[in-house]
Amino acid sequence: MATDEPPRPELDELARRLALTGDEERPDAVARRRKTGQRTARENIADLVDPGTFVEYGALALAAQRSTRGLDDLVRASPADGIVCGVGAVNGDRFGAEPARTMVLAYDYTVFAGTQGLVGHRKLDRMLALAHDWRLPIVLFAEGGGGRPNDTDTHTVSGLDTSSFHAFAALSGHVPRVGIASGRCFAGNAALLGSCDVIVATDDSNIGMGGPAMIEGGGLGSFAPEAIGPADVQTKNGVIDVRVPDEVAAVAAAKRYLSYFQGALPPGEHAPQEALRDAIPENRRRTYAIRPVIETLCDAGSVLELRRDFGRSLVTCLVRIGGRALGLVASDTMHLAGAIDGDAADKGARFLQLCDAFGLPIVSLVDTPGFMVGPEAEATALVRRTSRLFVAAASLTVPFFAVVLRRGYGLGAQALTGGHFHAPFFTVSWPAGEFGGMNLEGAVRIGMKKQLDAIADPAARERMAQTLIAEAHRRGTALNMASLWELDAVIDPADTRAWLLHGLASTTAPARPGRRRFVDTW
């Protein structure tokens, strides 16, 4: 065909229609996003995937409103029916890992406020089936207002036979899924977001199972969108895993999250390990910051903490040590002295499931007086919630390593070591370690109460109590525990990283497709 011949008309029409799906032909829609300080769906996708790798499915889809709107109107008003779907490579240009072919699902708030249309649900179902069959990780940009009530090309009454929510939930434990919320995310969009393994949300996000219209329609009052599920609330209650300032940071966090499931990297730089020798205060009653310990132990820049402001006596994060990706759980003595309350137990148990589902070994850094106790704690369903740690740990199939930094008391210490001290591949202690079935001072005063009460002189009684407490502490030292074979070793803190590298080199995660049926949303 000669170069001066006009293009075939069908190619002209295809080019015109595709152009109308892009941002360049929709300046008013782009301007509206700029007013809220946000990016378009396509801008977020371009930032997420490696350049030139995104293949879009369903770009020409339109809203199911042909009985009430003209075709040209729909082409301009409902590109892709409000959800941009496709597959692209992620992290090939950033972390040095093998790029992951990733399913991207991005609701477009410029199309009917990101609502979920009939055709959009059909597209979503198609993409979820592909993700299942080809084990593609998923990134979901979930901003939107839920179900769309004004799609007219249907005889459906309720739409309750829509299969998208079942299909998305069925991917739990099958492929990694990270959801991103910026701005308003309500109803059906929030239901998909809440099914994700990890939720990344911006400071301006509002996440709720019902938006203002649904709340008012239910007779529950009139609320501004900003009053429903703001980031401050959803971070403290554990809904949000990673809170970030904006969409740029949200995409970066999603890429980092996916990187932990893309295989090993070359060993990374790390801090001098001798610093760990002074990480624990000499005064055994003093608290200390655990995050510097984690940063020192792990490869530089490799720590991604999840649910930082929820269940604060436990820190949960994805890390790398020697280039290998792991899950790390650590006691934080700055909150409840490291005691495990219901929130911390929920957080820890769910994190164990997440790591096990996708083959990440786990290291636990222990410094706990045990489970939280008392009437107020029990009112939070503590019995059931703390037991989740035991149940989750008992089903682990990935390598598990435990390091006691200082205190290892009671059932809480057992829960943080996989159920008992000989459950992990190794349980080692730093020299400052102290152990007991419960707080040693309390154990002496309760266990020896009859003998102590028999001493009439209060001063003599207290001297005897202190003598017994000192003996209990001597018996509970790490060295004595090791001498009785209740620990595998007592180690120089500076050798902790070397022990973990040894453990990683000595173990492999067994292949067990299908055993972990799903990962709890909570």
Q: Which tens digits make up the pLDDT trace of 219-258?
A: 999 999 999 999 999 999 999 999 999 999 999 999 999 9
310 and 238 in contact (C-beta within 8 Å)?
yes
Least confident interval from 316-330, 338-352, 421-435, 496-510: 496-510
Confidence band, pLDDT 50/70/90 cuts, at residue 298: very high
Please tell me the predicted confidence (pLDDT) of residue 514: 44
Which amino acid, one-letter code, is at 463?
Answer: R
pLDDT of residue 95: 59
pLDDT at 466: 80
Where in the chain are the domains? 9-259, 273-433+477-506, 438-476
pLDDT mean over 488-514: 86
The average pLDDT across 72-88 equals 95
pLDDT of residue 482: 95
pTM: 0.93
The yes-or-no verdict on residue 171 having pLDDT over 60 is yes
pLDDT band per the 50, 70, 90 thresholds, residue 296: very high
- Is the pLDDT at 512 greater than 60? The verdict is no
Window from 209-213, 326-330, 415-419 with minimum mean pLDDT: 209-213
Q: What is the mean pLDDT of residues 257-279?
A: 94
pLDDT given at position 510 = 56
Residues 6+ positions from 500 with CB-CB distance below 8 Å: 297, 321, 322, 326, 363, 401, 403
Residue 472 pLDDT exceeds 80:
no
Closest CA to 495 of 277, 266, 270, 269: 277
Q: What percent of the chain has pLDDT over 90?
A: 79
Of 41-50, 456-465, 497-506, the one with minimum mean pLDDT is: 456-465
Cβ count near 253 (within 10 Å): 20
- Work out the pLDDT band at 515, boundaries 50, 70, 90: low
Measured CA to CA, the distance from residue 343 to residue 310 in angstroms comes to 7
Rounded CA gap, 345 and 368, in Å? 13
Residue with tokens 């009454």: 157
Q: Which of the residue ranges 219-228, 360-369, 467-476 would you say has the lowest mean pLDDT?
A: 467-476
What does the alpha-carbon distance between residue 82 and residue 104 come to, in Å, rounded to a whole number? 14
CATH architecture of 9-259: Alpha-Beta Complex (3.90)
Domains 9-259 and 273-433+477-506 belong to one CATH topology: yes
Give the domain 273-433+477-506 fold.
Answer: 2-enoyl-CoA Hydratase; Chain A, domain 1 (3.90.226)
pLDDT digits (tens, 9 = 90+) for 11-64: 999 999 999 999 999 999 999 999 999 999 999 999 999 999 999 999 999 999
At 471 the pLDDT is 80
Split at pLDDT 50, 70, 90, the class of 2 is low
* 150 pLDDT higher than 90: no
Buried b (16+ CB within 10 A) or exposed e, 287-306: ebebeebbbbbbbeebbbbb
Q: What integer pLDDT is reported at residue 22 of this predicted model?
A: 92
Across the chain, mean pLDDT equals 92
Output the pLDDT for position 513.
46
Taking the C-alpha atoms of residue 479 and residue 71, their distance in angstroms, rounded to an integer, is 79
Sign of CA dihedral 4, 5, 8, 9: positive
Confidence of residue 6 (pLDDT cuts 50, 70, 90): confident
DSSP letters for 456-522: -SHHHHHHHHHHHHHHHHHHTBHHHHHHTTSSSEE--GGGHHHHHHHHHHH--PPP-TTSS------
User: According to the model, what pLDDT value does residue 97 have?
Assistant: 57
